Amino acid sequence: MLAPRCRVILFRVVPLCICALLLAGGGAYCSGAPSREELLERPAAGVVAGSNVNVRDRPSTKGKSLGRLGEDGYWEELVVVDAAPGDDGRIWYKILSEKLGEGWMHGRFLRFEGLDDPLGRFFMTLRRDFGTNPAMTERRLGKPLKTERKTFRPEDYPEDVTSVDLRYPGGNVVFWIMRKVPFLVEADFEEGVAFGPITFGDDSEKVERLLGDPHEVRNRVWTYHSGMRRVHIGFGLGPNGEASVNRLIFERDAY
């Protein structure tokens, strides 16, 4: 059985996009930034370009602050899922944050990365669909059959971690709570939940068309990886020897 693998994360220098303000859809978009329609279909990765940036409950400086991101010593990859013009005429982006949950951030404080990486965008879709914390997972997938919690100290990590395992009829979703912040480490299903555009019963040609050639093939399992994220797609054989998807696993290294 495939299980999450942990590696030490090397903090990367995140490329910053250079923005040119263009009027589009009633707001000012950064040149090269994805449109609202694109984000709704394919979420993108974003990072905070500033310090102590407010995340609000609506796209307005008058919205309630849910907290701040961009603090010294804290970094996370945000999932950008929507865009809307604010009352200042500029574009705000709806983001999913591990630390703060779901909220809106002013576009001037957000930078995109990996827009031209189809596999990275696929992983962002999975993070959107499963959520960035257990409560968000329940809103998306419904109440789990069972939730298991345990506290342990992982190898090569200096503090205790709490594992939250949400178990559903066809599989499970696992978060690690590290320094009070949830981190999605695994989603493993054998039925019932689509992984973005990939569903159970799909043939290998569709998977290859969507994700390209797998990086590894072993025992009818195709593996794709990008950075510290992986997806494993298992295939079963039908009565006529045709291959179809029968297992889907998403993994992220927590540290």
The pLDDT assigned to 219 comes to 94
**Interval 40-76: pLDDT, tens:** 999 999 999 989 999 999 999 999 999 999 987 688 9
The torsion of the CA quartet 252, 134, 157, 149, rounded to 10 degrees, works out to -120
Q: What would the mean pLDDT of 67-92 be, rounded to a whole number?
A: 92
Contact indicator for 53, 93 with CB cutoff of 8 Å: no
* pLDDT tens, position by position, 123-174: 999 999 999 999 999 999 999 999 999 999 999 999 999 999 999 999 999 9
Residue 4: exposure state from Cβ atoms within 10 A (0-12, 13-18, ≥19)? middle
The pair of structure tokens assigned to 54 is 């407010």
CA distance 150 to 147: 10
